[in-house]
Amino acid sequence: MVKKTIHEINSKIKDGSVNVVTAEEMVDIVAELGPEDAARDVDVVTTGTFGAMCSSGVWFNFGHSEPPIKMQKVWMNDVEAYTGVAAVDAFLGATQLSDSLGMEYGGAHVMEDLIRGKSVDLHAISHGTDCYPRKILDTSLALDDMNQAIMVNPRNAYQKYNAATNGTKQTIHTYMGSLLPKYGNVTYSGAGVLSPLSNDPEYRTIGTGSRIFLGGTQGYIVGQGTQHASAGQFGTLMVQGDMKKMSSDYIRAANFTGYGTSLYVGMGIPIPVLDENVAKATAVTDADITTNILDYSVPSRDRPALRQVTYAELKSGSIEINGTEAATSSLSSFKKARKIAAELKDWISKGDFFVSMPVENLPANTSAKPMKETEGVSFVSEIMSTNVVTIEKDASVYKAAKIIMDSEFNHLPVVSKDSSLVGIVTAWDISKAVSQDKFDLVEDMMTRKVITAKTDERVDVVARRLDLKGVSALPVLNKENHVIGIITSDDISKLYARRH
């Protein structure tokens, strides 16, 4: 049995005799020597990852102005930061969007701008107090002008992450990127073989106080990240580091179409090889790491898993879903992950970075709870109108106009002889036809591509659909494609009004 201590490994780092390899290199070493001899030969294994980590942010201290101000609200380049703490402290989140530019610019961009040496415009307002009389402040600040800029990321470096695809007939835009219709592509995240937590799945050497590579400088693990779900191998880390020392090579802002901004964070964690079990764990391969492909078109936290897949399959460029080939693409940069693992290896080899054991290990058997909702969830069946009137497609426009006049609805679902939905007409469609002296059949003027709802859908999901499609009502269908109701924007507005 091979046994090493952190002190022994750090002594080797100090005298220059340490043997450091990357996790990618360790695979072949363990395969050739076996875990015991590999543990005897290798002292430290370096890992790396570079991907979008939305749960990231920075604590700033701006220094006191003259006269002083207690910032009630503050914006950096028109991106609002949280100020519910001391007078001139603020936390800027990576995904916070610009008040003026929206999804084009956000907190992540402010961070990258500062790291690149740019100044940002700071605007603050206050109610004013005896000790902090100033009410408005406008200035421009660079990183060097601030007392502190401490990056504190509540949830980074997922152990692994579910892959994403889309089973609908239209492209959807998510934090997993743009997903093409009918399982047209699969996106995934994570470094696989270089993933820090996948190389120490029992968290023997990774935990509170562990020294790490963060954004191009040395940082530390604060503890378990939010939503740490180690029982399912979805562990996460809360980390911190000095943003003043970080590099834009490893901290980059990103825009995701239709979703917003995120921050790409570069992180590397050294794993001291204490014994053969650690050596064996650091020989994990892409083929050993599995995850699920989820259908992100389902608007639920419990999206259906279509199949299990390995990172080796994901990295191959294509996989099979329901009998068809789907292209795969990574949202993470494996090239950057390799660079981080290699740079960390170099730091350790040169004696510029010493490894450390955690003062507290990460919890090893936790799961993430869903939100407790006390107000109750409303479904379409609870607020839809069931006395909906339909019309057959071969009816006249005149008949449609009379039904609209006699009913309480401005929308008239159009059905076939077997009562299946085939279209929809609105009061506006009829008014337009009448003004043009067109009294043809309903099917000549109806909208054929109808946006619909189901009784068991949540109202919030349907409200989003109404908003996205720019319509004010949706026919509600049963499994036979028959119209059994209609839900309108007025129905939803009344529900929201009752809630408030």
Residue 429 — pLDDT band, cuts 50, 70, 90? confident
Q: From the centroid of its chain, how far is CA 93? A: 13
**Mean pLDDT, residues 105-124:** 98
| pLDDT of res. 397 | 84
- Please give the DSSP secondary-structure letter assigned to residue 421: E
| pLDDT of res. 499 | 63
Mean pLDDT of the chain: 94
Active site residues: 131
CA distance 332 to 310: 16
List pLDDT tens digits, range 259-307.
999 999 999 999 999 999 999 999 999 999 999 999 999 999 999 999 9
Q: Which has the higher per-residue pLDDT, 435 or 475?
A: 475
List pLDDT tens digits, range 223-258.
999 999 999 999 999 999 999 999 999 999 999 999
Global confidence as pTM: 0.88
Q: How many CB atoms lie within 10 A of CB 330?
A: 19
Strands in 180-323 per DSSP E: 185-188, 207-208, 211-214, 217-224, 237-242, 251-256, 260-268, 270-272, 290-295, 305-310, 318-321
Residue 439 — pLDDT band, cuts 50, 70, 90? low
Query: In a 10 Å sphere around its CB, with 0-12 CB exposed, 13-18 middle and 19+ buried, how is residue 163 labelled?
Result: buried
CA distance 79 to 96: 7
Q: Which has the higher per-residue pLDDT, 394 or 87?
A: 87
Q: Which amino acid is it at 266?
A: G
List pLDDT tens digits, range 327-379.
999 999 999 999 999 999 999 999 999 999 999 999 999 999 999 988 777 89
Residue ranges per structural domain of the chain: 4-52+150-359, 62-145, 378-496
Q: How many CB atoms lie within 10 A of CB 431?
A: 12
Contact 298, 454 (CB under 8 A): no
Contact 61, 148 (CB under 8 A): yes
Share of the chain above pLDDT 90, in %: 82
Q: What is the CA radius of gyration of the chain?
A: 29
**Taking CA 466 as the corner, what is the angle to CA 52 and CA 296, rounded to the nearest 5 degrees?**
35
List Cα–Cα distances, 258 to 104, 176, 182, 406, in angstroms. 10, 11, 19, 41
Lowest mean pLDDT among 2-6, 68-72, 137-141, 298-302: 298-302
Query: In a 10 Å sphere around its CB, with 0-12 CB exposed, 13-18 middle and 19+ buried, how is residue 411 labelled?
Result: buried
Residue 82 has pLDDT above 70, yes or no: yes
Q: Hey, what are 222's tokens?
A: 């604060």
Sign of CA dihedral 425, 429, 431, 433: negative
| pLDDT of res. 373 | 86
Per DSSP, the chain holds a count of helices (H) and strands (E) of 12, 34
**Mean pLDDT, residues 102-123:** 98
Share of the chain above pLDDT 70, in %: 99
CA distance 328 to 72: 46
List pLDDT tens digits, range 180-207.
999 999 999 999 999 999 999 999 999 9
Looking at domain 378-496, its CATH class is alpha beta
Q: Which amino acid is it at 435?
A: S
Q: Hey, what are 464's tokens?
A: 């989003």
Contact 165, 328 (CB under 8 A): no
List Cα–Cα distances, 392 to 112, 415, 476, 482, in angstroms. 59, 5, 17, 12
